Structure 1
């Protein structure tokens, strides 16, 4: 019996992402072009399509990973990529709404190797551009003409509420010293897993999948999202700015209680105690302290735990993908994307 690990006929992940950009990219851009002039200008800058003066720029608008999940999920249940374009566009708009707001909340000044939208256009403009993208996401689904359009809008609404709840908890954790792994894991699954799960579920809906297939694909996406968040947390500590497009040690600078940090703090070791003391300091951490904090996360076991957990979550996610009984090639391509997303060198 073929499994999701049977890559016979599957295209490489880079080719799948390129095709997703070819199909969903123009639709995302067309949707953004319907926004009012002010938020449209900021959104087009954020996506990398224009510079701060409104001139065309060479940015490609991101990897479109979430749209690729939606399109492949539709394929997996017997539908077509083209049928799932509204789902792909909607999840990408929600994702970028969250990025615009996250950059404001975190005070990050760099994304995708260029100044963040708020640092160029101001906090208010970036927030309003994010709000416009969020409203547009619901409009795209509502206007799709799909028989389940109303249900997809309600489903995406619930996803956004989970995302906001996760982000709220993430911010609250920065002010707490008693965060435990179970609540940090729940936060990450809401903040990141909810939207990846929604991408897969919406794609399956537009592809004509049954209720069990939609549920299995949603859970695949949620678990993948949690694994992705842990991998991203590792990049937030040790990632190369030339690769990530964000400053080195950015998460530690913001005192984020990311999963590697909480795993390290939970170890009960002298290194964990030193890390806790450093993060509790009532002042900005300087460069040497950030380097030491990253070292302590590693010495206290945070990196090793994260790598083990990422691998275990990925395998559990792939098991749910198998349960969806999908098209063989589409399943293999979803598995390839999942493995790519949880690598720490991308």
Structure 2
């Protein structure tokens, strides 16, 4: 884990725990399980948290505009709470049974508990950020949540459609993943009392970073190692998701793309079928195209960072964060 993210975790984790402790203990135990703090019986375990890109970005963005990172702590906690609200509900909607190498909340505690836990996190996020007393920050988060929901609606609709354009898929990625990462970057600026032009540049940096993040996620959904990603082998193909590389392959006009479409229409989730689909996607050049797009968005994020011209330490940390996004394996 890069040093900037590790440093951000040391600030965010205690504040995140303090926020969750405000909830009813029964729902707090479910959330603690999801966040990797305790087992299904509520007993503390060695933390098994996620990548913490969003809260790290909020803190680093405040530092980038000359503020102390601590001023963005409400924003960092809020975006992490919203992110986990979306994961809890996504797992239910997608039927995902594993996250971080153990049963998802809905599998362990039931669908109603997972839905209530997600609802509790969303309301808590709005409350935590509202206490900071910066109305523009609260509006920023509300807009991001609306965009996230819009993106999830598209994601759920795509498998039922025979054709999905690549541009539509990129729009979905920008809304479902990019919007919250963009929000995290903007929140650091807003809570750090940055100038409007600085907040705008931070938002652009975050939007490009968010797209790169989702593109890498899509690649890992096809060729990631289950022991590392914490999800079943080729999870996105098993669920017949229209991720970016899949959509590029299906729109390639190549024989491999047409063969992929035929397999996608079959109800076969054997490992042999999944590996055949992954090979066909690779043959079309879709994996390489997705990798190039991820690198393009990282370069665009770097350009925004150059225009922002933060202090050297903050610049280096945000640069490192951008490259962590595309170099990760989970």
TM-score range, shorter chain: over 0.9
Q: CA deviation at 1:344?
A: 4.7
Q: Give yes or no for the alignment of 1:120 onto 2:105.
A: no
- The aligned runs of 1:204-215 (5 Å cut-off) are 204-215=189-200
* 1:318 match: 302
Structure number with greater CO (CA < 8 Å, separation at least 6) is: 1
- The aligned runs of 1:147-226 (5 Å cut-off) are 148=134, 150-226=135-211
Secondary structure of 2:290's match?
helix
* 1:244 match: 229
The runs of 5 or more residues in structure 1 that have no matched partner are 1-12
Q: What do residues 246-294 of structure 1 show as CA deviations (whole Å, max 9, x unaligned)?
A: 111100111110001011111100000000111122x242221111011
Q: CA deviation at 1:36?
A: 1.5
* 1:101 match: 89
Contact 1:255 1:279 in 2 (8 A): yes
Contact 2:2 2:324 in 1 (8 A): no
Off by >4 Å, runs of 4+ in structure 1: none
Q: CA deviation at 1:60?
A: 4.0
- Pairing partner for 1:235 from 220, 224, 236: 220
> Following the alignment from structure 1 to structure 2, what is the Cα–Cα distance between the partners of residues 135 and 96?
12
> Following the alignment from structure 2 to structure 1, what is the Cα–Cα distance between the partners of residues 119 and 207?
24
* 2:35 match: 47
Contact 2:136 2:190 in 1 (8 A): no
> Following the alignment from structure 2 to structure 1, what is the Cα–Cα distance between the partners of residues 270 and 233?
12
TM-score w.r.t. length of structure 1:
0.93
TM-score w.r.t. length of structure 2:
0.98
> Following the alignment from structure 1 to structure 2, what is the Cα–Cα distance between the partners of residues 313 and 271?
27
Secondary structure of 1:57's match?
coil
Higher percent of residues as helix? 2
- The aligned runs of 1:260-339 (5 Å cut-off) are 260-281=245-266, 283-339=267-323
Per mean C-alpha deviation after superposition, the further-off stretch among 52-61 and 22-31 is: 52-61
Contact 2:2 2:320 in 1 (8 A): no
* 2:131 match: 143
Q: CA deviation at 1:62?
A: 2.2
> Alignment length, in residue pairs?
330
RMSD between superposed Cα atoms in Å:
1.1
